[in-house]
Amino acid sequence: MDKGIYTALSGGLAKSHEIELIANNIANANTPGFKRDTATFNEYLTEVRRPDSPEGLQRETQTAALQDPRPQGDKSFVEMDGIYTVFRQGPLRRTNAPLDLALNGKGFFEVLTPQGVRYTRQGNFSLSKDGVLVTASGFPVLGRPEGAAPNAPVAGAPEARTIRFGTAGGHIDISATGAISQAGAPLGQLSVVEFQEAQWLEKVGNAFFRNTEEKNLKAGLAQETAVEQGMIELSNVNAVHEMTRLIEATRAYESHLQAIKTFQEIDGRSVNEIARKY
C-alpha cells in the first residue's frame, strides 16, 4: 500500500472534525452569549531513520522506546491539535426586558447547575414559579454576599446564594455593578466573575463554562465588567464567515477523499500489472 494514503486519510479525518465544529458554530449563530470555537492542526512527521549510520541507529533506538500509539516509520499525519473558544464579545441588542442582562467586559455570570457552579455570558434570565432568578435552562443565578471580595471564591453552599424576588412585584432595577433592587428595596448583588486566562475555561454544552484552575480567578481585583440591564449579548459567530469556512473545509475534505481513491487505484493497478508480468 502506498504510504501517501495515510496522509490523505488523516487529513480527511481532521477536516471532518473541523466541519462538525463549524456546523455547531452556525447552528448557534442566534444563541445568546454563544462563543464560537475554532480548531488548530498539527503536522506529525515520523522520524526518517537511517540505520546505516550511528546517528540513525540512535534515532531508531529512541523511537522504539517511545510509548506512542501512532505507527512508526517514514509517514506523516495531520492531527487536530486542539479546540479553542474565541471569547471575543458579541454585539449587544436592546430588549428593554428588566431581566435581560448583558455583560460589557470579560466577566461571566455565576450559575448553579446539577454538576456544580458554572459560568455563562447568556443573560436572558427569568423568574421561576418560586421567584428565583434563573437562566434560560432553568438553573439558578447566584449572588455575592455583602462585603465579599470581588472575584474571590465564596465559602459555603452555593444554594444559599440564589437570588429570590418578592411576590408583591414592583420595578426591578439592576445597576452596572450588579446591585439588585425591587420597588426600591435592595435584594442582593449579582455574582459577576472575571478570570486571569479565559482559555482555562472548559466549555460545557453551548452556553456554560467550567473553571479548571481556582487560581484563574482574579481574586481581590476590582471588577471591570459592567452589567447592562434590558440588553442581551448575541453570539459572536459571523454566519457569513462561518459559511465560507464550511465551504472551504468541505472542498478540502472532498480533495482528501479523491486522493485516497487515487492511491487505491494506483495500488490496484500495480497488483494487476505485477500479476500479468509474472
> Model confidence over 92-127: pLDDT tens digits?
999 999 999 999 999 999 999 999 999 999 999 999
Assigned C-alpha cell, 133: 432568578
Judge contact between 224 and 105, C-beta under 8 A: yes
Q: What is the mean pLDDT of residues 190-215?
A: 92
State CA 91 to chain mean position distance. 18
DSSP for 66-135, please give it: ----SPPSS-EEEEEEEEEE--PPPPEEE---TTBEEEESS-EEEEEETTEEEEE---B-EE-TTSBEE-
Q: What is the pLDDT of residue 270?
A: 65
Question: So what's the pLDDT on residue 261?
Answer: 80
Select from 92, 86, 128, 90 the least CA-distant residue to 111.
128
Q: pLDDT band for position 278 (50/70/90)? A: low
Segment 125-145 mean pLDDT: 94
What lies within 8 Å, CB to CB, of 12 at 6+ separation is: 253, 256, 257, 260
Instruction: Decide which of 188 and 79 is more confident.
Output: 188
Predicted confidence (pLDDT) at residue 274 exceeds the cutoff of 50: yes
Q: Is the pLDDT of residue 276 over 80?
A: no
Instruction: Answer whether 228's CB lies under 8 Å from 124's CB.
Output: no
pLDDT at 211: 94
* pLDDT for res 163: 94
Tell whether the model's pLDDT for residue 50 goes beyond 50: no
Task: Determine which helix (DSSP H) or strand (DSSP E) holds 229, and give its type and residue range.
Answer: strand 226-229
* Mean pLDDT computed over 152-172: 88
For 173-195, write each residue's pLDDT tens digit.
999 999 999 998 999 999 999 99
Q: What grid cell was written down for 112? A: 448553579
CA-to-CA distance for 119 and 113, rounded, in angstroms?
Answer: 10
Position 240 pLDDT exceeds 60: yes
